[in-house]
Every structure is written in structure tokens, then in C-alpha cells.
Amino acid sequence: MRLLLSLLVLIIPLSGCGEEGDNTLFIACLRSTACGVQAYSNVSNCVDGYVTLVHPQGRGPALDKIMGCVAGAGTCDQVKACYGEGAACTSGYKASCAGGKAQFCDLISHKTYIYDCGGTGLQCQVDGANGFAATCTGPPTSPGFPTTAACGDDLCSETGEACDGNAYDSCSGDKLKACLNKAWVLFDCKSLGLSACYTSSSNSTSSCGLPL
């Protein structure tokens, strides 16, 4: 009996660590931005965007399916497929809910994308005011993936330095330096099979490079 209790004490904390150590969201943010698909200027912007779309807009299950797919992608073509990225589009595009999938035009990237609403238990709806937009609808949900990076492995490390929440991402050698929760975090691009961090000459934003 004493041995059984000892084993339970060991097992319970390990289960919690497994959930808290899930970096799926951050891996997906780094991969999609490196490939220029639904890209964000900062890792923190990507995380904030995820939270906004999940709650209160109710796209959680559909978005989580995409982020999980992107986190496991090895090429930019696979990342594009996860998002259902299609042809170039403008505000004249006619969004649809064909087969329970929201097919819409993103006017930031000027590309079409798809949310699998029906396949994740949500309803699809075309925006009556903006015909180019369609989305999934459902009850507000909490973020499915942890929104705090679990560092200590090959992916990332904490510098121990505080930062302004508005600070831009930058490169520290081959690594991407991002301000998350007012603390600097270094992401090792190469640990994900991505090229070293680089800073764009056109808009001065920093991100991991294309997959190796």
C-alpha cells in the first residue's frame, strides 16, 4: 500500500507537467510566420491573435485543429495546406460555407483560407456586412493550447531579463528573441528545422527563416 501511494505521488505531478509543457502554439506561430502564412510581426502578436479568435469569438476547435497541423508541418507547402491557403483575393471575393467549411478572404495577406467548422462541431456563417468574410461560430471557449512558453528544452530559453510588452522581436545570433509576458525568451529556430533568425530589410521585422 505504501509503495502504491509513492507511485501515485510520482505519477500525478508528471501528468500536470505534460499539459503545461505543451509548446504547440509557439511552434505553430514560428513555423507559420517563417513561411509567411498568416504571419505576425511578433510572437506575442501571434499568441494574442490566437486568444482573441478562440475567446470570445468561438473558433477554438477549428483554430486548434489548424495550429496543431502547422506545429507538425515540415514544409511551407504543408503549412499552407493546414490553413487551406488558396488563391489571391480582394474584398470582391464571395465567401462561402461549402460543406461546413468557412472559405474566406483575408484582406491582410490577400489570400483565401479555410476553417473546418463542421468537422470541429461548429457552425459556419458568412458575414452579412462583408461578403468576403466567413467564420465559425460557437460558444466562447478557453484557449486549447497553453499561451505561456514552457522553456528549458531545445526550443526556448528564458534570459531572465525584463522587457517592455511593446518591444519588437529581434535576432540574437541564430535565435529569435521575443518579449513574452514582459520577459525576454530566446527561440532556437534550428531546433524546429527552420533557418536561422533574420531581420527583414523591407519592414525590419525579425523571424525564423524558411525550413531547412
Taking 90 as the threshold, does the pLDDT of residue 27 lie above it?
yes
Taking 50 as the threshold, does the pLDDT of residue 167 lie above it?
yes
Residues in the chain: 212
- Helices (H) and strands (E) counted in the chain, each on its own, are 5, 10
Contact 54, 142 (CB under 8 A): yes
Contact 201, 194 (CB under 8 A): no
Give the pLDDT of residue 153. 86
Range 190-196 average pLDDT: 97
3-class secondary-structure state, position 137: strand
Give the pLDDT of residue 20. 56
Q: What's the mean per-residue pLDDT of the chain?
A: 89
Give the pLDDT of residue 57. 78
Taking 70 as the threshold, does the pLDDT of residue 90 lie above it?
yes
**How many C-alpha atoms does 69 have within 13 Å on its Cβ side?**
17
Could you tell me which of 106, 108, 100, 101 has the C-alpha nearest to residue 133? 106
Least confident of 44-58, 109-123, 148-162, 180-194: 44-58
- Stated pTM of the model: 0.87
The residue that leads in pLDDT, 124 or 18, is 124
pLDDT confidence tier of residue 19, bands split at 50, 70 and 90: very low
Residue-range domain boundaries for the chain: 48-137
Range 120-127 average pLDDT: 95
